[in-house]
Chains A and B, each alone.
Chain A
């Protein structure tokens, strides 16, 4: 079989290359030819086509994402910002946390189990490659309507994939979201978050400096999975030997990933790693070009040395394979024996496949001929950049028209209808399939507002402290559909609030931006507005974006999903013993509502569940009020003033009260002063419910006043029912029955 070498490419300048089949546009292909001064070889085309894909190059989103940097608030906590595998934040006492959320949407639709499993695997390797020990995961999930047939295929598979992969890694799953809406039926969203911990002075970066240093590929062998377009390449230019369809979805081996985690941590501790990069999307292509581009600039790789699990793989396929559980390290030659010994201890295969050079070129050979010879930066960093046109959707003004929806007089029935609806019902059917206890540092986990981890003892030799981190993810596609600018801000505000109500101070942000096709100007407008909104809100709240991910093309035909920016917020708490738990933990506590309630039903859960209606405007964003509320909650926790809390969001006060009662089976009696319907079901932002011991109430109220946070006494905890005086009374048992039966009835 002929190998398409650089020499051959120079000799056959006019040979047609299948760039279009690989998703490359004519002008992009022309640019590759201009960079190289000749046509690319098939291997080079493989590299450029994946590196310049939307997924790897962010070519449609880059011009907008810049705002996360240009508008970034001053933050002493930020140690590594956007552009690396994950951002790193200083959390005190010499510790740093690294966290990131990433989508694996399309694979999870095609093959829910493996798609979701490898989504977890990928984000965990991103965190490992920063030099950190991964310490927890979370998942933000969106599915089609709960009663739609395909949801019964996708949801159990996704949950099982996350469960089998994450549990086997020994990472507690401490939170996340499960949301149903028919708009996701053909495009479910699987956004996986991982957080890791490291010492501040031990950050690793994806770089390959030092000519003569060795390039080591370690972990699983390379197989024909996740190849997608590469088989087009391998079979188009040559005889049809590799005609067999290569699977486009990767298959995960969590056991290998667990070994890789322990192996990497031991390699870091032995200080035998100069630079490191995980192999995710675009596999060897991405790792070699990015490492070389950020290092001394050159690298020589012998592709024949890559361990294969299918010996028929062609070099183009090896370059594009997305086989899981692989890492690439740059290692000084004198450290190679120690490096290999550690890999051997953990039964992790490792092979030197090349070395760092100072030529400024990435050169690869196959069977002795040069098949790749490119300036690595042109593939890694200098991809195309598009200023995609955008405009407000034609129907946006009509969508924003408020409609008067009839309100039932029977608020008891309305509450139960909402509480049992799939989006508000208990997610225990899902979360009980995740291990939340492993590593014994889980202070809070779902259904708490935020997950919280104690960070002492995570690393050997660390001084035990009671310091902890808290994490929450949020996102409301309906709000964002009505107003993407406000919707993105509301997602941030809710995650920020969820972290704060546990007593942790919000510090930094990651985001996963899920949208339809960027080639649709109306979708592009949603994207541009959401990014602008998020960047503005991060600036106001003083929490920088540290990294994240964009997922476009979540669209079937012309029907795009609701724009769904999912925002993750990380916070820090000095002493986890002072964390505030969710809900009413005991009788005899004073209940107070913090924040102002307005008549806001646009995009609400009530309009969705009761009227299947989406229209009007989302709740007003008040970031100053969010900041005040967060300050109160953080300070109240530190002073031990609050005995329980709960964020108000979907379903408003009614659902917050019901969930607070369900936390420990403690009832409550409250009175409302305004219109009961508005008080109970409005979704105004910047609000929280707190339970305070009577003797601390005065001091707590004074704290609220000093931050200008409205504090309304509602009533008291106790009894075995939720009683809203003069409006409704529901026993905790009935609340529980309604809340817990929905998902098991749907999914078995």
Chain B
């Protein structure tokens, strides 16, 4: 059987694409580079939208990226079930593209914050979190200036009711997110967005003092192998 192929998207200003590709390879999958300007998903089995400052985050984080040629392919594919994980800027892009509800705004502190953050797994049923246990605590780095998750009261209520809140901050909310939300999914659990960075927590030697990020990649591999 050939290795699962996970696409890693590079927009102008994407920063964590090499890190994401390395994490995909460490988990045993093939990392496939996807370029923002191409109308081509290269037949990948899943897509990782990494962090960074795509298009300089000018106008609004993710607001320009959602119109990239690649997104014209990705949005319908994701709606049809292609698994997509967006971290940080990737999460912002998923919200701007309306693949996930709500929005990410300036941190309550008005400062960019980089730290090792504890989060709790609220849903282990999504395509990207099945390797975790519900209630499990992870340590992943966060590094963002605009990670405060906001949504209307109705949307929040629906997210909570449907089990679409995937991660919650514990040990202190770093950005003022409503309901301490660190990550959410779509209704079917194929699309997940979160502010923390699993790709920076996959090796003992570098990055955060944990390898908790590996679970995201083993989750998707398990899913792809079982499909």
By a beta-carbon cutoff of 8 Å, the part of chain A in contact with chain B is 160, 163-164, 167-170, 253-256, 258-259, 346-347, 431-443, 454, 457, 576-577
Contact A437 B207 (CB under 8 A): yes
Tell me whether B137 is interfacial, beta carbon within 8 Å. Answer: no
In angstroms, how far is the closest chain A Cβ from the Cβ of B212? 14
Say whether B16 faces chain A, with CB atoms less than 8 Å apart.
yes
A443 contacts which chain B residues (CB < 8 A)? 205-206
- Are B19 and A438 in contact (CB-based, < 8 A)? yes
Residues of A within 8 A of B12 (CB): 255, 258-259, 346-347
B193 at the interface (CB under 8 A from A): no
Is residue B18 contacting chain A, with contact meaning CB distance below 8 A? yes
Q: Are B13 and A168 in touch, CB under 8 angstroms?
A: yes
Knowing A441-B206, A577-B205, say if A435 contacts B13 (CB, 8 Å): no
Q: Which residues from A are CB-within-8-Å of B200? A: 437-438, 440
Known: A167-B112, A255-B12, A442-B206. A437 touches B58 (CB 8 A): no
A437/B208 in contact, CB under 8 A: yes
Across the two chains, which residue of chain A brings its CB closest to B200?
A437
Most buried by B among A160, A435, A436, A454: A435
Q: How far is the CA of A617 from the CA of B213 in the complex (A)?
A: 52
Q: Are B205 and A437 in contact (CB under 8 A)?
A: no
Given contacts A164-B112, A167-B112, contact A440 B206 (CB under 8 A): yes
Pick the residue among B55, B199, B203 that contacts A255 (CB under 8 A).
B55
Which chain B residue has the least Cβ–Cβ distance from A457?
B22
Task: Give every chain B residue within 8 A of A440 (Cβ-Cβ).
Answer: 18-19, 22-23, 199-200, 202-203, 206-207
> Quick check: A576 and B205 within 8 Å, CB to CB?
yes
Other A-B pairs, 15, CB within 8 Å; known A168-B15, A435-B114, A437-B200: A170-B52, A255-B12, A255-B53, A258-B13, A347-B12, A434-B112, A437-B114, A437-B143, A437-B197, A437-B207, A438-B15, A438-B19, A438-B200, A440-B200, A443-B205
Across the interface, which residues of A come within 8 angstroms of B143, CB to CB?
167, 435, 437-438
Which residues 4-32 of B have a CB within 8 angstroms of A? 12-13, 15-16, 18-19, 22-23
Please give, as numbers and ranges, the residues of chain B lying within 8 Å of A346 by CB-CB distance: 12
- Residues of chain B at the chain A interface (Cβ within 8 Å): 12-13, 15-16, 18-19, 22-23, 52-53, 55-58, 111-115, 141, 143, 145, 197, 199-200, 202-203, 205-208
Most central of A163, A169, A256, A438 by chain B CB within 10 Å = A438
What's the nearest-Cβ distance from chain B to residue A55, in Å? 29
Q: How near does chain B come to A443, taking the closest CB pair, in angstroms?
A: 6
Across the interface, A258 reaches (CB within 8 A) one of B53, B114, B199, B208, namely B53
CB neighbours of A347 from chain B (8 A): 12
Nearest chain A CB to B175 CB, angstrom units: 12
Shortest B25–chain A CB gap in Å is: 10
Chain A residues, CB < 8 A from B52: 170
Say whether A255 contacts B15, CB under 8 Å.
no
Whether the Cβ atoms of A163 and B13 lie closer than 8 Å is no
B114 touches A255 (CB 8 A): no
- Bound state CA distance, A172 and B203, in angstroms? 17
B15 partner residues in chain A, CB cutoff 8 A: 168-170, 258, 438
- Please, which residues of chain B bring their CB within 8 A of the CB of A169? 15
Bound-state CA distance A431–B141 (Å) is: 14
In the complex, the 6 A-B pairs of residues with the closest C-beta atoms, listed nearest first? A255-B56, A170-B15, A440-B19, A437-B200, A168-B53, A435-B143
Give min CB distance, A254 to chain B, whole Å.
7
B16 with A438: CB separation less than 8 A: yes
B56 touches A253 (CB 8 A): yes
B112 touches A442 (CB 8 A): no
How far is it, in angstroms, between the C-alpha of A438 and the C-alpha of B53 when the chains are bound? 12
Q: Could you tell me the distance between the alpha carbons of A437 and B208 in the complex, rounded to whole angstroms?
A: 8
How long is the Cα–Cα vector from A148 to B152 in the complex, in angstroms?
Answer: 43
Q: Given the complex of chains A and B, what is the CA–CA distance between A440 and B198 in angstroms?
A: 11
Residues of B within 8 A of A167 (CB): 53, 112, 143, 145
A59 vs B22: C-alpha distance in the bound complex, in angstroms? Answer: 48
Contact A433 B112 (CB under 8 A): yes
Sample (12) of A-B pairs whose CB atoms are under 8 Å apart: A163-B111, A170-B15, A253-B56, A255-B55, A258-B15, A259-B13, A346-B12, A432-B113, A438-B15, A438-B143, A441-B206, A577-B205
The complex places the Cα of A300 from the Cα of B111 at a distance, in Å, of: 48
Given the complex, which residues of A lie within 8 Å of B18, measured CB to CB?
439-440, 457
The listed residue (A259, A432, A438, A454) touching B115 by CB distance below 8 A is: A432
Residues of B within 8 A of A255 (CB): 12-13, 53, 55-58
Q: Return A401 CB to nearest CB of chain B, in Å.
A: 45
The interface residues of chain A lying within 8 Å CB-to-CB of B58 are 255
Name, among A258, A433, A438, A440, the residue most crowded by chain B CB atoms within 10 Å (CB to CB): A440
**B199 proximity list for chain A (CB < 8 A):** 440
Among residues of B, the one whose C-beta sits closest to the C-beta of A431 is B114
- For B56, the chain A residues whose CB sits under 8 A away are 168, 253-256
Residue in chain A with minimal CB distance to B116: A437
Nearest CB of A to B37, in Å: 8
Query: Residues of B contacting A164 with CB < 8 Å?
Result: 112, 145
What is the distance, in angstroms, from B126's C-beta to the closest C-beta of chain A?
24
> Would you give the shortest CB distance from B226 to chain A, in whole angstroms?
29
Q: Are B208 and A433 in contact (CB under 8 A)?
A: no
A171 (CB) vs chain B CBs: closest residue? B15
CB A644 to nearest CB in B, in angstroms, measures 14
In angstroms, Cα B145 to Cα A168, docked, is 11
Q: How far is the CA of A255 from the CA of B55 in the complex (A)?
A: 7
Q: Assess whether A433 is in contact with B13, with CB atoms less than 8 Å apart.
A: no
In the complex, how many angstroms separate the beta carbon of B9 from the nearest chain A beta carbon? 15
Q: Are B114 and A432 in contact (CB under 8 A)?
A: yes
Q: How far apart are the CA atoms of A346 and B14 in the complex, in Å? A: 12
- In the assembled complex, how far is the CB of residue B62 from the closest CB belonging to chain A, in whole angstroms? 14
**Residues of chain A contacted by B16 (CB below 8 angstroms):** 170, 438
B115 to chain A: which residues have CB within 8 Å?
432
| Contact, CB under 8 Å: A433 / B207 | no
Q: What are the residues of chain A within 8 A of B206 when measuring CB–CB? A: 440-443, 454
Q: How far is the CA of A261 from the CA of B197 in the complex (A)?
A: 23
Interface centre among A169, A170, A258 (most CB of B within 10 A): A170
Measured CA separation A237–B207 after assembly (Å): 58
Closest A-chain residue to B203, C-beta based? A440
Q: Give min CB distance, A554 to chain B, whole Å.
A: 28
Q: Which residues of B contact A431 (CB under 8 A)?
A: 114
Return B80 CB to nearest CB of chain A, in Å.
30
B22 neighbours in A (Cβ, 8 Å):
440, 457
Cα–Cα distance between A431 and B111 once the two chains are bound (Å): 11
CA distance A555 to B207 in the complex (A): 41
Q: Report A-chain residues with C-beta under 8 Å of the C-beta of B197.
A: 437
Residue of B nearest to A167 (CB): B112
- B145 cross-chain contacts in A, Cβ below 8 A: 164, 167
Say which residue of B55, B113, B203 sits within 8 Å of A433 (CB atoms): B113
Least CB distance, A129 to chain B, in whole angstroms: 21
> Which residues of chain B have C-beta atoms less than 8 A from A434's C-beta?
112, 114
A253–B12 Cα distance when bound, in Å, is 13
Please report the C-alpha to C-alpha distance between residue A168 and residue B52 in the assembled complex, in whole angstroms. 7
Name the contact of B141 in the complex, choosing from A437, A454, A457 (C-beta under 8 A). Answer: A437
Closest to A262 in B: B12
Which B residues are in CB contact (< 8 Å) with A432? Answer: 111, 113-115
A164 to B112, CA, bound (A): 8
Chain B residues closer than 8 Å to A441, beta-carbon distance: 206
B174 (CB) vs chain A CBs: closest residue: A432
In the bound complex, how far is the Cα of B202 from the Cα of A102, in angstroms?
34
User: How far, in whole Å, are A138 and B209 apart by their CA atoms in the complex?
Assistant: 21
Complex: A346 Cα to B23 Cα, angstroms: 25
CA distance in complex: A454, B18 (Å): 14
CA distance A440 to B201 in the complex (A): 9
Q: Which residues of B contact A576 (CB under 8 A)?
A: 205
Closest B residue to A442 using CB positions: B206
CB distance from A130 to the nearest CB of B (A): 21
